[in-house]
Structure 1
């Protein structure tokens, strides 16, 4: 039952990330193929990078049809109901926080399951969560979200670190994952709600 819940949340995260990619691509004036490409890259890019790094070839994002269909459906909906998607911006951000959390925890667990060390598990857990967004922003010529002030990659890092700590202490992986998911989501949601940001260092004028 727990695995089924994570699969459902994973597909929700895939859908929402694909929506964010499709909307960003449309705002840049890309054609239909470009919108589909950016939507899929945003939704599955992080997981594909992770799988290539750990030798899980071919990557899940390229072999499991539900992920492709979910990304394509999100792109179609974003194009057909573009104005409605903009109105639903806040709910989309909430699901985005869910997707970030699920991808961070699922990515970390997969790396640990393949027998890699804790450092790699945390780094690739973060990559799973934010990699697609980075690829989206780079392809669209924007500064990636993780390089700005928002609490985004830092939330994924905390979630991944909790999973790693629980694994090191031999705690129940499902309970640890649930706690990590809750904390990661909480950090991202609270950051959005209260406009919490990491400190920046501007250039002082002489």
Structure 2
């Protein structure tokens, strides 16, 4: 899940960089930032040092490959409806599950594991958006972190009920992806402060 999330989030970063007309170096930087920041933050918070990104070069290769794919094949990717949002929703689901599962494997209690899953899922997207001077999606009115919360709760609940890992992971990724995409299509947003 981690490597799939790295590649998909890398595509979202690279595609956004192409839309902002960045050069090859800029596309690779944005791709790697989106792909790796959440996992690095997760591992550092878990005390898993050095982070998996720097212990296993497959993470770096996956991030680089996704940046190159976005650079050379951006036209077919951009034909998707809202390509960055779709890729971002898929990466959000994958990283939510990977983050929550790793936190639980490290013996964290459910609530901190859910929080760490959200940090893992949102971290790369936050850095990606900041690097192109956009307000991070997690802070906008769109449903973003709430979708990651839903996926993490499914992982925790599945573990508590003793359900098999793979079906739980698939359900959590699907629920996160679906909530994120439907919220954008329907224009759903998180509540705002009364009178604001």
Which TM-score bucket, shorter chain as reference?
Answer: 0.7 to 0.9
Q: Does 1:13 align with 2:13?
A: no
How many residues are paired up? 196
> Pick from 12, 15, 30: which aligns with 1:23?
15
Deviations 1:186-206 (A, max 9, x none): 2123223333222345987xx
Map 1:178-189 onto structure 2 (within 5 A): 178-189=170-181
Q: Which residue of 1 aligns with 2:148?
A: 156
Is the 8 Å Cα contact of residues 99 and 117 (structure 2) preserved in structure 1? Answer: yes
Q: Which residue of 1 aligns with 2:134?
A: 142
Deviations 1:66-124 (A, max 9, x none): 32222212212222233333223446643432221111011101001011122210111
Q: Which residue of 1 aligns with 2:43?
A: 51
Runs of 4+ that moved beyond 6 A: none
Q: CA 1:32/1:92 → structure 2, altered by over 3 Å: closer, same or farther?
A: closer
Q: Which residue of 1 aligns with 2:112?
A: 120
Map 1:50-89 onto structure 2 (within 5 A): 50-89=42-81
- Deviation of 1:140 after TM superposition, in Å, equals 2.3
**Aligned-CA RMSD value:** 2.4
Structure 1 residues without counterparts, runs of 5 or longer? 1-6
TM-score, length of structure 1 as denominator length: 0.82
Structure 2 residues without counterparts, runs of 5 or longer? none
* Larger gyration radius, structure 1 or structure 2: 1
- Deviation of 1:144 after TM superposition, in Å, equals 0.3
Q: Which residue of 1 aligns with 2:33?
A: 41
